[in-house]
Amino acid sequence: MSDFDVVPVAVGVLVVVAGALLANYLLKKDKSKSGGGKSSGGDAKKAASSQLRTLMDPQEKYMLPLIEKEELSHDTRRFRFGLHSGEHVLGLPVGQHIHLSATINEELVIRAYTPVSCDDDKGFVDLVVKVYKKGVHPKFPEGGKMSQHLESLAIGDRIAFRGPSGRLQYLGGGKFSIKKLRKDPAQIYEADKVSLIAGECCLRLSRRLYLFRWRLWM
């Protein structure tokens, strides 16, 4: 083989090597942006644990102010409550709920609700509530005690939040933590497909499942 034959071969080898090095660099750069593939889940958990959470103790009550009220229909309202700061999240795992409590006509009333806002939302939590008004339904002449109390709140009024509550928690990636009884240890279950009945916590769960699948596609 002459010197003239060696030159094209050497150039070709250099091009292949340079291409491989460039591809390796781009792959490493892409992995560093996405959190390194499988390790991104751990990074997400670390980020979540470092967030400022409002619901730190499920046995404590946290007085949160009403900051916004929206009329969605003739008997349905969206109530927005402010958190401790603009950087706080509520701290409610997907699949769980909160309890509101208030003294109404000298009676302690406690009701369970599931926010419609995402737990990534900072500074506020949204509840969509149907107001059961007094004198509308013959079987319930007094109406809903808590829903009417919420309707009566003025901007700036506070109500007690407590949570997280519930025996089910969605962990992501098709994994669920479930307690058969409240005091039982949690068992981990994994599902390939999940059927949901649209309502409160299921809406939040379906949103989280959608976001998880969207990240896989991307």
The annotation places the binding site at: 111, 113, 128, 130, 145-147
Angle at 38 between CA 51 and CA 20, to 5 degrees: 125
Token pair 């950087």 is found at 87
Specify binding-site residues for FAD. Answer: 111, 113, 128, 130, 145-147
For 152-199, list the strands marked E by DSSP. 158-165, 168-172, 175-178, 187-190
For 14-61, list the strands marked E by DSSP. 52-53
Query: Cα separation of 14 and 20, whole Å?
Result: 10
Best CA proximity match to 147, nearest among 161, 165, 133, 158: 133
CB-count burial class (<10 Å; 0-12, 13-18, 19+) for 48: middle
> In which element (H, E) is residue 209 found?
helix 201-217
Contact between 151 and 64 under an 8 Å Cβ cutoff? The reply is no
Contact between 151 and 134 under an 8 Å Cβ cutoff? The reply is no
Best CA proximity match to 67, nearest among 147, 113, 112, 123: 123
